[in-house]
């Protein structure tokens, strides 16, 4: 009897330990200025009440990997726990003169270009650690870019679940249809991370992808 009671206790204790939710790593990937950090901030504000990182109209504002741990979201009676990983924008060409045109000094611009280059390398190195990825695309831009195709193609090759977010739908030039036509086999959701448009549906989609 005593043995039975102890055995029950052990089972309950370890059962509870292993029932604890595993924190999946959810990565935000995409080209520069697509709105990855704006979306990360929106998610963090909704569920943690604090922002994740600084945003700017000058590309490559995020040049280091940022991780926000233990975000618990609830939607439709379900709960999802994850660590959110915001990554630097992926680009094929980084030119400090673009930053000078945006108002930075040549010195600042060159530093930004160097850090952005390191950021691209780091973002790609982290890809294998991701359990699921949200690819954030600017819905006002042509989706058939080398960056978009390379990111999405590589995620598919690595069998990492993908949710494509067509961001900036609040802008006139936005076209979700174009993005859906470019990547028809993927879950896709149109949002405005800045305005908070369609965020409820975004969270619902996240449950489907990050199971």
Neighbours of 94 (CB within 10 A): 19
Q: Which range of residues in 33-41, 143-151, 182-190, 194-202 is near other proteins by CB under 8 A? A: 143-151
State yes or no: residue 162 binds other proteins (CB under 8 A). Answer: no
Q: Which long-range contacts (CB under 8 A, 24 or more apart) does 63-72 make?
A: 63/88, 63/112, 63/115, 63/116, 63/118, 63/119, 64/88, 64/115, 64/119, 64/122, 65/119, 65/122, 65/123, 65/126, 66/37, 66/40, 68/40, 68/44, 69/23, 70/23, 71/43, 71/44, 71/47, 72/47
State yes or no: residue 110 binds other proteins (CB under 8 A). Answer: yes
State yes or no: residue 131 binds other proteins (CB under 8 A). Answer: no
User: d(Cα 36, Cα 88) in Å, to the nearest integer?
Assistant: 9
State yes or no: residue 150 binds other proteins (CB under 8 A). Answer: yes
Neighbours of 26 (CB within 10 A): 25
State yes or no: residue 70 binds other proteins (CB under 8 A). Answer: no
32 vs 190 by CB, closer to other proteins: 32
Q: Site for other proteins (CB under 8 A): which residue of 24, 48, 58, 65? A: 65
119 vs 190 by CB, closer to other proteins: 119
Smallest distance from the beta carbon of 135 to other proteins, in angstroms?
A: 14
State yes or no: residue 118 binds other proteins (CB under 8 A). Answer: yes
Binding site for other proteins (CB under 8 A): 65, 67, 90-97, 106, 109-110, 113-114, 116-118, 120-122, 124-129, 146-147, 150, 154
């Amino acid at each position: 009897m005593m043995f039975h009671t102890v055995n029950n206790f052990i089972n309950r204790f370890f059962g509870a330990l292993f029932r604890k939710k595993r924190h999946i790593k959810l990565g935000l990937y995409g080209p520069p200025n697509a709105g990855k950090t704006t979306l990360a901030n929106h998610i963090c504000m909704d569920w943690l009440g604090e922002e994740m990182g600084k945003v700017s109209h000058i590309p490559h504002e995020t040049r280091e990997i940022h991780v926000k741990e233990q975000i618990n979201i609830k939607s439709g009676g379900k709960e999802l726990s994850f660590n959110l990983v915001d990554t630097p924008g992926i680009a094929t060409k980084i030119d400090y003169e673009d930053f000078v045109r945006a108002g930075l000094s040549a010195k600042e611009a060159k530093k930004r270009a160097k850090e952005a280059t390191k950021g691209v390398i780091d973002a790609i190195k982290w890809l294998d650690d991701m359990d699921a990825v949200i690819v954030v695309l600017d819905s006002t831009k042509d989706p058939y870019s080398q960056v978009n195709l390379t990111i999405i193609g590589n995620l598919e090759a690595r069998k990492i679940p993908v949710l494509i977010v067509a961001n900036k739908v609040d802008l006139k030039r936005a076209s979700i249809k174009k993005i859906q036509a470019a990547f028809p086999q993927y879950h896709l959701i149109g949002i405005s991370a800045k305005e908070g448009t369609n965020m409820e549906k975004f969270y619902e989609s996240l449950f489907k992808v990050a199971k």
